[in-house]
Structure 1
């Protein structure tokens, strides 16, 4: 077979059967076999064993850029339809190869060599060395300033190598400068490896630069580098694709693109609040800085849900906030001592779409069939990782909450901490419940007061709708979304079960144990489980709200949702109304408390035993009775009953004497009491 080089493969020509026959006749073509390079059928393991690890790296780099264009639909459109020029330009703009011809070249190669990933292997590299590196015609260029030790003119191969160096910086995410790029170019393309005989039968490999007359200078490299790369690509190489897309690339779109109205799309994100929360079980301690999760309606920018936790940001907090966004806020606020009406925070609708980060902290379990089957949520949109600008609506809310509220509270961090100043954690004043209550009031204030004139639609303007997020939200729900999908009381358990992660609890004969706490229910299904658990304990699936330990949820085999209540004696528990993070910390702390109590009990037991030993020793010294002898009797000692009755009689007489003295009135003589002793003889009454 012939060698495979770049540019050897053109776009396949489409023939009908008649056209193909005519073409063969015109050029006297005959049928035959074409042997593809054997490397195309090799596995990565075989290629690596044959020293082709670099081939695999190059192949994977190309495949990562070409893969979006290799779907069956796009291949068919490329070969038989109107082409895929728009799709290729989109890939170029997104930071792929610098020009579309590279995509066409590799796509043609991919199709011609069997549409496999190995079609992109640089099999032509095995022929390196058979031709001179500088056999190509060079460009004369301008005359150099120095006549001695001139460099050669630049050629097309050099330009391709310059582009290859650029791609190295793009893929490797290395710190970039043109000087560093030239050094890499010089090291890769302007030096050779030589073997030097050391005289003892061994050889030493050394790198030797080419003569200057066989190289291009830094000035030549710089000049052509700036001509070969456009400013957009250069910015991507210098700053990275993420930073470019986030902070540098021009934007003309909006987060509301494709949104039909309020409740159509919710955005959710998290941030660590700049405040330390007080520990409720001991004054002067703090549980750290909490993580605030906010859910925003994209159309109106209204805050529709929240969750305050101490872990993350992670997927567990996201699902808690999403569940809160779909539920009634009156009951939620009441948990934290905040009494509000339905009109204060009228956000209890199920969205059509959700947008979250595509970061590692968000698990795939959020994108589950439960969202569609139980709630009818149509899509979960994943923003690019570390691309907060893709959720700009919710990102801006964090700054408002921190600047307008949190930074003015005790225990807040709002400036660079000086070493000589007291750390803000020492000033932690507000407990978790108080911080959540403060945030609820702040959210209601923001929803009712923020100016969102730019989000006001045409019909809303005609109807005289106010420009705050809440007014826009309510107007859009009624007019654009036909009332939306409000969550009813019956839907509450369904929302929990759709969003929250599934966990396991243990059924015992006296309750349900989960996370160190005990829950109870009078539901007949669970009552029957309690009875059977006396013989064998069983596991049941449950779901929980992480900000509230008072109850958890269980779904029975027939689909019935059952709420389990925290077991409390006399309506009191030291864990009641606490979030799970704080309750778990308290449970862990109680292990130390129990350990200390047991240690103290050991010392008290030793003290007790010492006193008992002393008492017995003193009694033995004063005793006139002889020590009992060892007995081999098998039956009970005789006379115990008679001796017991005699002992009781003596105790009654002693107790009667004490009672008589206590009832004796001042002035009464002892003789009178003796004479009338039968009036005060209460032994018969007592015994």
Structure 2
């Protein structure tokens, strides 16, 4: 078992859990903290001791008890404010002064300086860094446990009693309570912030409050022949403290910055993730590059090989230090979070198992497994338009976006794309031979024969070829040359793991997927958990608790993998666990299909129905005409029937029905002629007259007191 930062271990004897918070660059010792206690003091421990405890089963790896998936939208603004404030303390101690903090001789000095810098007492600083270590070393580990608090994030209704702290001012011997901030007052505060604060003039909150009083809480009166504004008394206006409170309650720092400064200023100085073109990587996992490109090959559908589905999108995740391709994804999604999610999931996936799904047998040496990196450098397309805070705050992965039109900042993955594209272009049917076809040239799209699975297999072979081949223009380190390591990604990767500091983020695979998978809110119906109009799911818990009777039309949050739609997952227990739901048998035609293929199949169904619609309309018309002809003949026949009174026509319906039934029976009764002719009748055989037999039955019915015909 290889140790990684943030890994949780447990002693067998006393059940004490510890977390590895740092591994020295020499890999000779590490630092650990206890997951229990008021203060988490880093403890020095040699790697030999750790190895002895693990080899003799005194210490085993366990699941992180604090690992969970927190949706950023569910965190209140107040909690975010406190979290970000605490995060500044953590950054100052852990990311800027780590070595001094780990040294027990200078640790108190760092804590004292931090408390002075951020105007906090030392005890509070110790609690903050303790929470960071014990709860998972992520930004969201600094959040308090508000799961059991009531009315979380909800604004209290304004009633008759004054909310908040009581005022200490009096008037005529009575305490002035002031006003409750109801919907009207709150709307005025929001409007005032928009009108007076979020503007290029950059007024302060104090000035914005004063302008609000002038605009909404004053009367215009004539005094000494001049119009003047007279502000209302204290009991009728919001105080400055209330104004600031509600501003922070609904504060949008990004929006305020864009309105008060400019978009350019925000992008250059204040945005969360700044582009970084320097490749300051020391070992595997320091930084990954991720990018997507449209392959120059046309594919056909897996469902119907006659259908051409266009060109696939290829995602590649590559390690900057070793140039090892750590993850890929081939699909039909354009540059978006969905495609990037698939590629990042493949990063933590077992590569031997992944290749076997496509019929490719490899060993782990051919394509080593990897974990999440410390940093990910991405193009703006992959991580714009989707909320990536879950990846940043829950998994502590830093996202760096390149500037617009700066593909050169991701030169490593861009070069890899060009190499792969050129190799497969010359041997794959349906490839784009040249950008513009001349008149009379054959349409290369008609040569498409590969489906998406077959094309994925080709890309996998190309990746294995790249990972085990010499790469040109690699800046060989002196240590690599001394170790006689050839510039081959797999060799550099393995050497870096053994000799350099690895910046991998060890996180449980299920937790990674919960933070990466696509989220959607769907409904519970009587037919099942409805994903779209034709796909329904269920689980044992839903059947046991009667969801499809008690919770009909209720909305629930689910996560799913678009590549594997046989299952969807319902996160529970704040993202620590999930409920697995299976696709129902009535939707079996969608089994083992991806979301793209399901959409394509549904479109085919819709097209087939539309194509038959004209014939269907004609069938309806012919059916109506046939029925009308029969009804018309019956009406004509009725005109020649002798007239009877209504009472006479209604009388005797039951007897008429029995007579009609006997007539139908006599006409419908089976008589097997050919078989009966071959059978010889006995000499003493006598045919019985049916009419005589029926009359005997009628006599028996009369004897039993039954009315004939009933």
**Aligned pair in 2 of structure 1 residues 616, 467: CA closer, same or farther (>3 Å)?**
same
Aligned to 1:392, the other structure's residue is in SS state helix
Q: Classify the secondary structure of the residue corresponding to 1:268.
A: strand
Q: 1:564 to 1:306 in 2, by over 3 A?
A: farther
Q: Residues 165-206 of structure 1: CA distance to partner in whole angstroms, max 9, x if unpaired? A: xxxxxxxxxxxxxxxxxxxxxxxxxxxxxxxxxxxxxxxxxx
Distance 1:626 1:657, change over 3 A: same
Equivalent residue runs for 1:88-237 within 5 Å: none
2:459 is paired with a residue whose SS is helix
2:407 is matched with which residue? 388
Identify the residue that residue 624 of structure 2 maps to in structure 1: 609
| Aligned residue number for residue 410 of structure 1 | 429
2:334 corresponding residue in structure 1: 312
Q: How has the CA–CA distance of structure 1 residues 383 and 410 changed in structure 2, closer, same or farther, with 3 Å as cutoff?
A: same
Q: 1:260 to 1:526 in 2, by over 3 A?
A: farther
- Structure 2 CA distance, aligned partners of 1:375 and 1:609? 66
Shift in alpha-carbon separation, 1:609–1:582, aligned structure 2, 3 A: same
Q: Measure the CA separation in 1 of the matches of 2:307 and 2:421.
A: 22
**For 1:551, which of 554, 563, 567 is the aligned residue?**
567
Residue number in structure 2 paired with 1:362 = 383
- Counterpart of 2:444 (choices 421, 424, 427) is 424
Q: Which residue number corresponds to residue 535 of structure 2?
A: 518
Distance in 1 between residues matched to 2:654 and 2:501, nearest whole Å: 90
Contact 1:300-1:455 at 8 Å conserved across structures: no
Task: Tell me the SS of whatever aligns to 1:260.
Answer: coil
Q: Which residue of 2 aligns with 1:657?
A: 670
Structure 1 residues 663 and 434: CA distance shift in structure 2, 3 A: farther
Structure 1 residues 654, 306: closer, same or farther in 2, change over 3 A? same
Q: CA deviation at 1:497?
A: 2.5
Distance change in 2, residues 1:676/1:330 (3 Å): farther
List gaps (5 residues or longer) in structure 2: 1-198, 203-275, 698-710
Query: What SS is found at the alignment partner of 1:549?
Result: strand
Give the number of equivalent residue pairs: 418
Are the counterparts in 2 of residues 354 and 380 from structure 1 also a CA contact under 8 Å?
yes
Cα distance in 2, alignment partners of residues 672 and 267 from structure 1 = 103
RMSD of Structure 2 on Structure 1 (CA): 4.3
Counterpart of 1:564 in structure 2 is: 581
**Structure 2: how far apart are the matches of 1:343 and 1:526?**
46
Please state how far the C-alpha of 1:590 moved relative to its aligned partner. 3.2
Which of 550, 553, 556 does residue 537 from structure 1 map onto? 553
Give the deviation of 1:584 after TM superposition.
2.4
Matched residue SS, 1:657: coil
Alignment match, 1:472: 492
* Counterpart mapping for 1:437-516 below 5 A: 437-451=457-471, 454=474, 467-481=487-501, 484-485=504-505, 491-516=508-533
Deviations along 1:460-511, whole A, 9 cap, x unmatched? 6666656432233234234434694566xxx333222223443222222222
Distance 2:410 2:465 in 1: 22
Q: 1 CA distance for matches of 2:296 and 2:531?
A: 32
Structure 1 CA distance for aligned equivalents of residues 411 and 604 of structure 2 = 41
Cα deviations by residue, 1:315-369 (Å, 9 ceiling, x for unpaired): 4322332222222345544555556565553334121111112x3663164541x
Matched position secondary structure for 2:463 = helix
CA separation of 1:609 and 1:342: change in aligned 2, threshold 3 A: farther
Give the Cα–Cα distance (whole angstroms) in 1 for the partners of residues 482 and 591 of structure 2.
50
Q: Aligned pair in 2 of structure 1 residues 333, 360: CA closer, same or farther (>3 Å)?
A: closer
Summarize deviations over 1:124-183 as a string: whole Å, max 9, x none.
xxxxxxxxxxxxxxxxxxxxxxxxxxxxxxxxxxxxxxxxxxxxxxxxxxxxxxxxxxxx
Residues 377-407 of structure 1: per-residue CA shift (max 9 Å, x gap): 2x11222222222111111111111111133
Helix, strand or coil at the partner of 1:540? strand
* Shift in CA distance, 275/529, structure 1 to aligned 2, threshold 3 Å: farther
SS at match of 2:468: helix
* Residue 591 (structure 1) aligned with residue 606 (structure 2): yes
The residue aligned with 2:251 is: none
Match of 1:178 in 2: none
Superposed CA deviations along residues 247-297 of structure 1, whole A, max 9, x for unmatched, are: xxxxxxx97832121122110011111011113444433221122111111
How far 1:595 sits from its partner (Å)?
Answer: 3.8
CA gap 1:458/1:628 in 2 versus in 1, 3 angstroms? farther
Q: Which has the higher strand share?
A: 2
Unpaired stretches in structure 1, ≥5 consecutive residues: 1-115, 120-253
Partner of 2:296, secondary structure, is: coil
Indicate how the Cα distance of structure 1 residues 456 and 607 shifts in structure 2: closer, same or farther if over 3 A, else same: same
